[in-house]
Amino acid sequence: MAAQSKPLERPRGLFDVLQLPLIGRVLRWRWGRLVLQIPLAIIALLLVIDGFTGPQTASRNLATVTPWIHYRGLVVIALLLAGNLFCMGCPFTIPRTLAKRFSLPGRRFPRFLRNKWLAIGGLFTLFLLYEWLDLWASPLLTAWVIVFYFVASFVLEVVFTESAFCKYVCPLGTFNFIYSTASPTQIAVKNHNICQTCVGKECVNGSYSPTPVIRLDQIAGGAPIEVHYGPDGTPGCGTLLFAPQIKSNLDCTMCLDCVRACPYQNVGLMVRTPGHELIQPDAWPKRWDVSFLVIILAFMGLSNAFGMVPPVYEVERWLAETFNIGSELIVLFIIFAVANLLLPVGITLLAASLARIFTNTTRKFSLRDSVAAFAPAFVPIGLGIWIAHYGFHFLTGALTIIPVFQEFLGMAGDWQRFGAITTDMNIIGLVQGGALFGGLLWSLVIAQRTSLRLYRRDGMLGLIPWALVLIGLALVAVWIFGLPMEMRGSTLFN
């Protein structure tokens, strides 16, 4: 009974974005998501067309310039300043409504896959393929990746009732989920009492149904606003989040289906303190898969950037010669397995173990709980690393999209004018330094608060191993971004 009377989680929101005059109205509109999705879908189709039919020089093709320069640059900025806007406008989910029509009834994603291990595997595979196939240099392969995304999203929507692709598979969505936890917005309800008496729970169940629905509470008293039930209704949360229990942006695509489905207009997109959930002890599940996903993604930020600097070729050459390996894929797999799996897992377990030993809490906290408690601290430093990397490409090449698009339209690309405009390297250095230093500082604050919460008087002792890991990550990042960058496919194996 005590658990029932406990108030549900609600962030201290300053205001509801959906109450803003124009933006709120558009977003709440039944087709509001399409307003974002259609432009992005058109862009995606243009990329596919140019990738298949245009010149195969990466710098002159929309299929490579747009995703590898602009998407990546803008997504990290949006995550930091606004929220998970790119999942909100994701064009890959447009066929969702169509897929719903064909959806096999009642089949859920296999239970053993309902975790983040598949997402970790997806990210690992994507980054491995990115390096091995030089996706950044191939418009054709990038176009195939986009097509694969559309097909995979549609097929999984057809086969399973929930949005399995978004929640368990999509590497882009996984990236956005993780770093939207640092964002200043979150879905939340306005009045928990309404949720407790709500009969339909439309925010998660939806008002969509192949056949008309009669709602019991409407018979009793009528609904406060008009909600369509039946085939014209709104689907509920695709990732099966229940709005009044949302404590985190993890798994939230910000599709706002919950907002539209709620018959009481009780769900909002609240502004909150950026990263509010990262210092909330119960915001995230204490699971190995979630914790390692966050930590591994920060390490992936390093390995992805490491792939652009000269030492990586020395490492590749050394591995190939030492172990007599003739396959680039195997060499890259070894590098990525070490950098993206063994190192983060090993270092994390070591840090957690040392913290427990230093604070004499080995019996009080399990290793899993210790890792889970400190995992949120890896979000800011990870985001800082990704901003430093993607921000570099965006700031150096943002305007090249203009001559590329001119050429796509059959005009002469004005490369002399737009191709030569780039942000001053000193400013880029400041942005990179600011992202890394700011991320580290933010991470250390989270780790310190976590340590004090867990270990009380021994908080500083418990902090030491984790702080060393975070500082180490930042130092390696500074080293990598301080090296001269090289853009090459691995010629070692050609």
Q: Which chain residues interact with other proteins by CB under 8 A? A: 42, 45-46, 49-50, 53-55, 57-61, 64-65, 68-69, 134, 136-137, 310, 313-314, 393-394, 396-398, 400, 407-410, 415-416, 419-420, 422, 484-489, 491
Smallest gap from residue 117 Cβ to other proteins (A): 32
Smallest gap from residue 480 Cβ to other proteins (A): 15
Smallest gap from residue 57 Cβ to other proteins (A): 5
Nearer to other proteins, 64 or 443 (CB): 64
Locate tokens 């172990």: which residue?
323
Packing angle, helices 72-81 and 378-397, rounded to 10: 130
Taking the CA atoms of 169, 175, 176 and 181 in sequence, report the sign of the dihedral they define: positive
Smallest gap from residue 165 Cβ to other proteins (A): 22
Q: Contact, 32 vs 368, CB < 8 A?
A: no
Nearer to other proteins, 226 or 314 (CB): 314
Smallest gap from residue 420 Cβ to other proteins (A): 6
Smallest gap from residue 261 Cβ to other proteins (A): 21
Nearer to other proteins, 14 or 42 (CB): 42
Nearer to other proteins, 212 or 310 (CB): 310
Smallest gap from residue 53 Cβ to other proteins (A): 5
For the chain, the straight-line distance linking the first and the last C-alpha, in angstroms and rounded, comes to: 68
* Strand-pair partners of 208: 230
Q: Which positions ≥6 away from 485 have C-beta within 8 Å?
A: 308, 309, 392
Nearer to other proteins, 49 or 240 (CB): 49
Q: Contact, 122 vs 171, CB < 8 A?
A: yes
Smallest gap from residue 126 Cβ to other proteins (A): 17
Packing angle, helices 117-132 and 171-179, rounded to 10: 110
339: exposed, middle or buried (Cβ count in 10 Å: 0-12, 13-18, 19+) = buried
C-alpha angle 64/388/287, rounded to 5°?
95
Length of the chain: 494
Nearer to other proteins, 122 or 403 (CB): 403
Separation of alpha carbons 186 and 250, rounded Å:
10
Q: What are the distances in angstroms from CA 197 to CA 92, 200, 244, 262? A: 35, 9, 12, 13
Nearer to other proteins, 251 or 407 (CB): 407
Nearer to other proteins, 386 or 466 (CB): 386
Q: Contact, 218 vs 199, CB < 8 A?
A: no
